Every structure is written in structure tokens, then in C-alpha cells.
Amino acid sequence: MPSSPIFHAIFFAAGALVGAGAVSIAESRRERAKPPTPTSTAIVEIGPSGAPGLVQRAGDVLKYGHPGPIFDCIQRKAYTLGYDRRLRHPAWTAEHLTLASVSPPPDDPNGPDRHKSVFKEDESIPFAFRSLLKDYFRSGYDRGHMVPAADAKSSQEAMDETFFLTNIAPQVGDGFNRHYWAYVESWCRKLTNSFSDVFVFTVPLYLPKQDPDGKWRVVSLFPQLVRA
């Protein structure tokens, strides 16, 4: 029979091999569990011709990712949005406001003119999923900007882009879109007087409401998350 020291050496070697394997497996699992390093987000940018193109943009408002799964992520001059093809309006919008972006450019003290901007369908979205001007005709709802035109005063083009229907959702007009919601939008812009960077994320919210006639109707609200 082999001597006791030999058995001890064999058992020690076997234990060392098993221990080393367990440590290796544990380290491998820890490596896989590490959170991924933030990278630039792939988005769709609309070129001068109106054709969408996939681009990589780092350091923007979505540098840590976007709020949720979407079909179309569109980059404009004043904002980025995720378009919901099912509901045919933004799933969310994201803005990086600065004092310069909400003020007229130095070479044009009067700034862009809202009256020159018109609501228009976004042809970068396939027709089957596109929001149409006729969808709002006599609907009883305002064409509510999720990114307001007044947030895009850096140029006429930037303001015009807020009138794409991909930036619009149905909104109660009297008492909300033209009043309380406008006050919230103004408050966000005024934050740029105190903070160099203001990030605004907006989503649509539908709430059922029973009117005096007994019928149930949907009230569309736009909750906002503001970070300065």
C-alpha cells in the first residue's frame, strides 16, 4: 500500500485543481455580470433630402441610451425622439436646452418666426405608420407639440422641424395645451437662466375622463422629467 505522504500529495494536488477551476468559473461569471460600458447610441438622422440614415452620435442627450424600445429614433436640430408606429406619435422626446438654444441667434435679434412654420407629415416614416394631417381634422384635439417650437429658436429650420407630425400628439386645447402646459414649457426654458444645461424628457399619457353627457373620452397629458 502506498505510504501516507503520497496519498496526501495526491489529494492536495486534486484539491488544488478543483479549487483553481472553481475560482476560474467564478471570475468568468463576474466578468460577464459587469455592466456594459456606455457607448454612443445608433440613431436615425434625416438628411437634407428627407432620407433617413443610420449614424453614431456620442455625447448627446442619449449618450447613456434611450428610454425604451421603439421603431424609429429620429434626430433633429433641437431634439431627439422615439416614434411609436402603433399610436402614430412620439413615444418620448428628449431635449438638451441651453440659453443659446432657446434664444434668437446673435446675427438675427428677431429670431425665427413661428408663423412661417407649418404642420407637415413626416415622409421619413412609412405611409402605413405615418401620422396624417387629416387625423386631427375636426378631432376636437389640438396638435400638441411634445417639443415646443419656442424651444428651438436657434434657427428657422430648427423651429420648422418641431412642426413635423412625428413631434405631435393629440392634446386637450383649452385649459391645457394653450394654458397649463404652455406654463410648464415656459418654466423649463427659464431654467436655462440658472443652469447651463437643462435636459427635458417628455412622454404622452392617456387618461379616461367621463364628461357630463355620460360619455367617456380620453384626455392626453404630457408628463415631463427635467434634469438640470
8 a catalytic residue: no
Q: Look-up: residue for cell 387629416?
A: 134
Question: Three cell numbers at 202?
Answer: 417628455
Distance CA 186, CA 183 (A): 5
3-state SS, 8-72, equals: HHHHHHHHHHHHHHHHHHHHHHHHHHCCCCCCCEEEEEECCCCCEEEEEECCCCCCCCCCCCCCE
Q: Look-up: residue for cell 418654466?
A: 187
From 66, 96, 115, 145, the catalytic residue: 145
Question: Three cell numbers at 133?
Answer: 394631417
> Rounded to the nearest 5°, which phi and psi values hold at 152?
-125, 65
Classify burial at 136, counting beta carbons within 10 Å of its beta carbon; exposed 0-12, middle 13-18, buried 19 or more.
Answer: middle
Which residues have a catalytic role annotated? 145
